[in-house]
Structure 1
Amino acid sequence: MHKAIIVGGGLAGSLTAIYLARRGYDVHVVEKRRDPLQNTVSALEMTNSRAIGVSMTVRGIKAVLRAGIAPQELELCGEPIVGMAFSVGGKYKIRELTPFEGLSPLSLNRLAFQKLLNKHAALHGVKYSFECRCLSVDLEKKSVLVQEDDGGFQHHRGDLIIGADGAHSAVRQSMQSGLRRFEFKQTFFRHGYKTLVLPNAAELGYRKDLLYFFGMDSKGLFAGRAATIPGGSISFAICLPYTGALSLATQDGDAMRAFFNHYFGGLPPTRRKEMLEQFMTLPSNDLVNVRSSTFHYRGNALLLGDAAHATAPFLGQGMNMALEDAYVFATLLDKHADDLDVVLPEFTRQRKVQADAMQDMSIANYEVLSNPSFIFFLRTQYARYMHKKFPSLYPPDMAEKLYFDSIPYDELQQIQQKQNAWYRLGRMN
């Protein structure tokens, strides 16, 4: 029996654990946070989890269902999405999206989904060590040194080390120091973000089946996203520069009050006040892009999810690609009869191409959203009209492909490039 040590018990780590345990692996997960199934999650952890308001696309849904999780269970963790609403001048322009395979994206309660994965992992015999901090990784001996919640130290050894420990991965750092010619690049976007939550989205006029986008009329000042999460609350991600008169560092309450009054003026004054109070007290989060030249070390260690390819959420694909990583890894184990010396290099070959394409598209989308113009809406309408009129010639709508399909990212990038070429030709004509 193979033994796998997974560093990081978040979404990608837990789904990978389920896939491996279903194959008969002895799986041990090391996680620095508390056990979400024991009702010991701190108030800060719970707020952050429900405030993220991540979107699970069809790509992520398929990866979860293929791990043996019933669709009815997954649906309890989110709200189905049928379209997008863009706020411009206080009014919303709505884009309806059409399902291809009977599956709709979900506006996800991250904490509820995490609990679902942990429940299924436990049912398959996965062992978790919570509140354990990974101190070092020995790639040659395939061992992990952790500090437990009582201050003691423990070595965990296995046949495979998997780094699913996020953008600041300890496993990747070991690969950086232990692998020749390992290239790593970390870049930060000029915006960071804060997450704010308001109760009773329906009462505020927000539809639970739409994703909301803000800042299209801010001339690049900010970008915002909102989605209803189970329980009826709505989660806002407010992206602003790190410094400046209106920024994440702003301490001027009057300036930020004017900001919320201007861009969220349709909300009641008490709700705008609540958003202001949360903004002034909650910490900010970085938007980081992580690229690694390889996702594996021999047949000993593997990176997946944000540890391999963290990206800003401007394409809505970070979590979804991480979940797909787990599924692709499982399919390669099937294909190569669990020969890790073959599986791990093949994983890098396949997923590196997809990660680069996804990150390039995310950066391009960030530039559009942070420097938008009215042309954005005209171009979107033009693209949808042209594909409907000439389906064999003009590429399909990118948003629908991203949310309702699991087409490889490099193929999506080619579609995007074709749209750009057709659009330039259309403007010239």
Structure 2
Amino acid sequence: MTIDLSSTAKPAIDPDRWPGVATVPAGPVAALSGRVADDLLQRAARRLPLRLLYPDGSVIGAADPTLPTLRLLHPDRLVRRVGRSGLIGFGESYMAGEWTSDDLAGVLTVFATSVADLVPRSLQRMRPIALVRQPKTHHNSRDHARRNVAEHYDLSNDLFAEFLDETMTYSSALFESLPAQWGDLATAQHRKIDRLLDTARVTSGSRVLEIGTGWGELSLRAAARGAHVTSVTLSAEQQHLARQRVAAAGLSDRVSIELCDYRDVTGCYDAVISVEMIEAVGYQFWPTYFRTLDALVAPGGRVAIQAITMPHSRMLASRNTHTWIQKYIFPGGLLPSTEAILSITERDTSLRTVDMCSLRPHYAETLRLWRERFTQRRDAVAAHGFDEVFHRMWELYLAYSEAGFRSGYLDVYQWTFAATGGRW
């Protein structure tokens, strides 16, 4: 039996737009590293609840056909890419249409569950030599930070509107029950925002600073309580739409949306709130970020963040390397660990934890709903000028993120700190 490739043809690849996707590693070194990668992939399939399906119909791995199946449409190209550049190559191979799956999130969840054991320890010791280091442009100085943020958030407001709910909230929701339906999402986003505002003690008359505007929903919810909100963003597209939404709600007298780096904010606020912003700050600037929050919150005030975290050991192993997510989705980003956040806040600030709440299963559901919506809106996304390679890239990004939370490799916390005084 052979696989019918008519429905899984390779996308047209613009080599100027996608140079890493258009080029398959060639030569004897690529062939040798490809054989090593092929051996590792087959070993993984034999011991994990996973199946590899080859073009000739042969299967390696679990016998159960209902288990997640990775369909290798061009296996030689896939393993050459993985052998040369690891997970970057794995992602680029998907973008190039060289492998696929009817259960993409399921396949990636299996890998995420066993991420620490996929590569033998003897080869892990070569990681610092083999992996690509981050480009200097990913260092989040003020100029680089604005460019890095724009590369993701300034893609198009219309693009994000295709898969986000009407609140235009691009962070984990908090559902009343799981599993969730699309119709639950807007209410769940409001529940998430309201919980943050509650733990930050935002009430009528509160002076609130939001670092990372998104498209303005948190500012709108805070202002509806009677708070006065200053919200800062580095995304011109987000600022434009957020200002429109504030004006339409008749709240321009209570909400100011500014294009400003968090390091340049001044003032004193009763509450400082930052939702899934620390992930874009960069490892070198985490102390600066928390010192800034500490300096801006009034004595006795609250700081509330929502932060995606990864295991500390993996954070240390990957903090200086270049990943597929950094190359194609979030340049300059890195997920912190809970240990890193605790260490920095306790050593460098007066901020002390008063509340932590994990939303991990809720983020998995949020991402599933976004991914399904994004897939359904394929034609609409294309109409906005995004090609098939981009669409496959974002499918992989959303499924990859969902898998991280479903496997437990990633977590996300609403984390509230009290400002205890005694500045650093």
Tell me which interval the TM-score lies in, with the shorter structure as reference length. under 0.3
Query: Which protein has greater RCO, CA pairs closer than 8 Å, 6+ apart?
Result: 1
TM value normalised by structure 1: 0.24
